[in-house]
Chains A and B, each alone.
Chain A
Amino acid sequence: MRRVVVTGLGMVSPLGGNVETSWKNIIASKSGAATIARFDASEYKCRIACEVKPVGHEYGYDASLDVDHKIQRQVDPFIVYGISAASEALRDAGLDNMSEEERLRAGCSIGSGIGGLPGIESESQVLATKGPSRVSPHFVHGRLINLISGQVSIKYGLMGPNHAVVTACSTGAHSIGDAARMIAMDDADVMLAGGAESAICPIGIAGFAQARALSTNFNDTPEKASRPYDVNRDGFVMGEGAGVVVLEEYEHAKKRGAKIYAEVIGYGLSGDAYHVTAPHPEGSGGFRSMQMALKKSGLSLEDIDYVNAHGTSTPLGDELELGAVKRLFGDNLSTMSMSSTKSAIGHLLGGAGAVESIFCILAMRDQIVPPTLNLDEPSESCKGVDLVPHVAKERKVRAVLNNSFGFGGTNASLIMKAI
């Protein structure tokens, strides 16, 4: 089987418009949460989110660096974030100027959980108030989930596989896992893989709040709201942004002298077959997903030093994932660290698995694991697990596991190791 390595990283997050700014702020225990600025949420049950910040802000993001003004106007923000992250990743890999021959073997697998919800909402209002002849001709292709892959392939001339995963909050992890398999199966030599989301709009916040998924007890202290594993957690904080990695066949990367961040060695997928929103009461889906990734990786549990948890800060989900991790790691629990970076940037839904995989890779690069913020009072079941409360921790990191679980009972786990 062909080996697959990561050679480029790109990101837009609530803590920065690129990878290094986001990572620096994650390690410095900064929070991207605040009162929602994009619309007046004062009448909503949840009034907070981790929004991507505008130019001029300390963590600001400048779309115009990589996305034409016209495209910014025509498409939903999740596509704009995706193009930015993909562009950064390609530049980082030194592949932003490939030959035609190389581009025939380079593809995209960048998905999203929801797609262009803000645009669907606003254009529905145009339809209702002004009629069908005022709906934008760019409405459809500006909202479709596969249009990050579409736009990026057009911008950079990538003629290989063009794909987009839609598996709710597992999208980012599935995208990377599936794209790695496309390279392993010889469908491509290079794949841009990841996920993006931007659903912080009235219908998005109202919908997730009605599903009882969002935190509502910390509207006056937004930075305290995302608190995975803490006894006072009460739901997730919506985030937005994008994460994209460049995956490359190992010999292809070696031959051109590329900087190699990590090798993707394990990928596990499973279904809960239980409930549309609630995780399986024994966490069995997550357990099987991790177990499959581990088996594929050929590693032992003692080799895995860091787990970036799904850890969304929901009362049920955190507990069940923790239980599954404890069962899987058994005697090896004491030597690994696990944290949830959602405590800092919120839940990026379809972007989460990709952004968090990048944090895993950077943890290996810098030999430091990011913190779980707001873990003031860990729940009873946290005993014996190093959840890296409050501050980042320098430690040996040789191999990492990233979990992503989504509505519909869909689970994905990725294992990567330094090379």
Chain B
Amino acid sequence: MSETADRVKKIVVEHLGVEAEKVTEDASFIDDLGADSLDIVELVMAFEEEFGVEIPDDAAEKIATVKDAIDYIDSKQ
């Protein structure tokens, strides 16, 4: 597992209060991890802080799964 993936999953566990095993790369924030649209806004903010990247709203809207987040962050670093 990449370093980015580790850090992303840690943030997801902390923010959504879900068990670490559930945070697989295929997991959908809304369908599998119980997030709502505002939780995703908060997660995106946390990713921006953690990785020092900016994720504009149109890109954020396309982040549906844990893998989407990891891939976007990796593409900007």
Interface set of A (CB-CB < 8 Å, partner B): 68-70, 72-74, 133-134, 136-138
Contacts and interface: CB of A to CB of B under 8 A. Distances in A.
A73 B17 CA distance: 9
B63 to A, nearest CB: 15
B16 A134 contact: no
22 contacts: A68-B17, A69-B17, A70-B15, A70-B16, A70-B17, A70-B34, A70-B39, A72-B17, A73-B15, A73-B17, A74-B42, A133-B45, A134-B45, A134-B49, A136-B42, A136-B45, A137-B38, A137-B41, A137-B42, A137-B45, A138-B38, A138-B42
Q: Which size bracket describes the interface of B in this complex?
A: 10 to 19
Nearest to A133: B45
Interface core residue of B15, B17, B38, B49 (most chain A CB under 10 Å): B17
A73 B45 CA distance: 15
Contacts of B45: 133-134, 136-137
Contacts of B38: 137-138
Which of A72, A74, A137, A138 counts the most B-chain CB atoms under 10 A from its CB?
A: A137
Contacts of A68: 17
Nearest to A136: B42
A152 B14 CA distance: 23
B56 to A, nearest CB: 11
A72 B14 CA distance: 11
A133 B57 CA distance: 11
A174 B32 CA distance: 42
B60 to A, nearest CB: 11
Interface in B1-39: 15-17, 34, 38-39
A136 B16 CA distance: 14
Contacts of B16: 70
Contacts of B41: 137
B13 to A, nearest CB: 10
Given A73-B15, A136-B42, 6 more contacts: A68-B17, A73-B17, A74-B42, A134-B45, A134-B49, A137-B42
